C-alpha cells in the first residue's frame, strides 16, 4: 500500500490546520508533548516533525476548532529558518508526518493533525535500538498493570453497590459479566465486595446473607 500523500499547493504561504478526530487514538494515544512520544516516537518521526506536532498540539489547545499556520512564521518560531516551499524543512516535516498517518490532507490548503499519537506498532518498535525496545516493553507492562488495576477498582465499586442492594454472589457476578468484565475480575470483585459488606464468605458463595 502506498503511503498517504501530502496535497499541499506549491508556493503556499499558509494552511488551515484542524484536529483529526479519532475516538480510539484520542483515548489511548499519547500527547505529542509527552514522555512516550519524546522517548519512542522521536526515532521514528525525527526531531523536526516532533517539534511541529508539539506546536500544533499547543495551537489546537488554544484554538480547538483549528488555526491558520503561516509557513514562514512557524518555521522561524521553531528554529527552522525561513525557507519554505517543497524543499523547506517545515514542508518535509508535514510530509513525514503524513507518511506515518499522524497528519492527513483534506485539500491543497488544509490538513488534519492528530492531537494524540497512537502507540508504536510492532514494526516500528522492531526498528528501535535494543535498549529502546526493552524500555518500550517495560513501559507497556506498566501500562497494562495500571489498566488492570483501574478495571479492578471499577469492578469492585460496582460489585459493592450490587451486594449492598442485596444481590447474591452468583447474581452479582452474572451482572458484572453482562457489563463485560472478565470472569476472573468479576469473581474477585464480588468476593471482595462481599467481604466488605458481610464479612468472609466461608464457603457460602451463593448465599444472599
pLDDT of residue 61: 92
Q: Structure pTM?
A: 0.69
pLDDT of residue 126: 93
- Tell me the pLDDT tens digit for each residue of 176-198: 888 888 777 888 888 889 888 77
DSSP annotation string for 36-92: HIIIIIHHHH-HHHHHHHHHHHHHHHHSTT-EEEEHHHHHHHTTS-S--STTSHHHH
pLDDT of residue 119: 92
pLDDT of residue 11: 67
- Tell me the pLDDT tens digit for each residue of 111-162: 999 999 999 999 999 999 999 999 999 988 887 776 788 888 888 999 999 9
pLDDT of residue 58: 94
Amino acid at each position: 500500500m502506498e503511503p498517504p500523500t501530502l496535497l499541499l499547493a506549491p508556493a503556499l504561504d499558509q494552511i488551515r490546520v484542524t484536529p483529526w478526530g479519532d475516538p480510539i487514538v484520542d483515548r489511548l494515544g499519547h500527547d505529542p508533548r509527552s514522555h512516550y512520544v519524546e522517548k519512542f516516537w522521536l526515532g521514528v518521526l525525527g526531531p523536526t516533525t516532533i517539534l511541529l506536532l508539539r506546536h500544533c498540539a499547543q495551537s489546537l489547545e488554544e484554538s480547538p476548532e483549528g488555526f491558520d499556520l503561516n509557513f514562514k512564521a512557524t518555521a522561524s518560531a521553531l528554529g527552522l529558518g525561513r525557507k519554505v516551499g517543497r524543499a523547506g524543512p517545515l514542508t518535509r516535516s508535514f510530509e513525514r508526518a503524513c507518511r506515518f498517518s499522524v497528519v492527513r490532507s483534506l485539500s491543497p490548503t488544509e490538513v488534519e493533525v492528530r492531537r494524540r499519537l497512537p502507540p508504536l506498532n510492532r514494526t516500528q518498535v522492531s526498528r528501535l535500538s535494543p535498549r529502546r525496545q526493552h524500555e518500550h516493553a517495560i513501559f507497556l507492562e506498566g501500562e497494562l498493570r495500571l489498566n488492570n488495576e483501574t478495571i479492578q477498582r471499577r469492578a469492585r465499586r460496582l460489585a459493592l453497590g450490587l451486594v449492598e442492594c442485596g444481590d447474591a454472589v452468583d447474581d452479582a457476578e452474572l451482572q458484572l459479566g453482562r457489563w463485560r468484565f472478565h470472569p476472573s475480575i468479576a469473581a474477585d470483585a464480588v468476593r471482595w465486595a462481599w467481604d466488605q459488606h458481610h464479612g468472609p464468605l466461608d464457603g457460602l458463595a451463593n448465599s444472599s446473607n
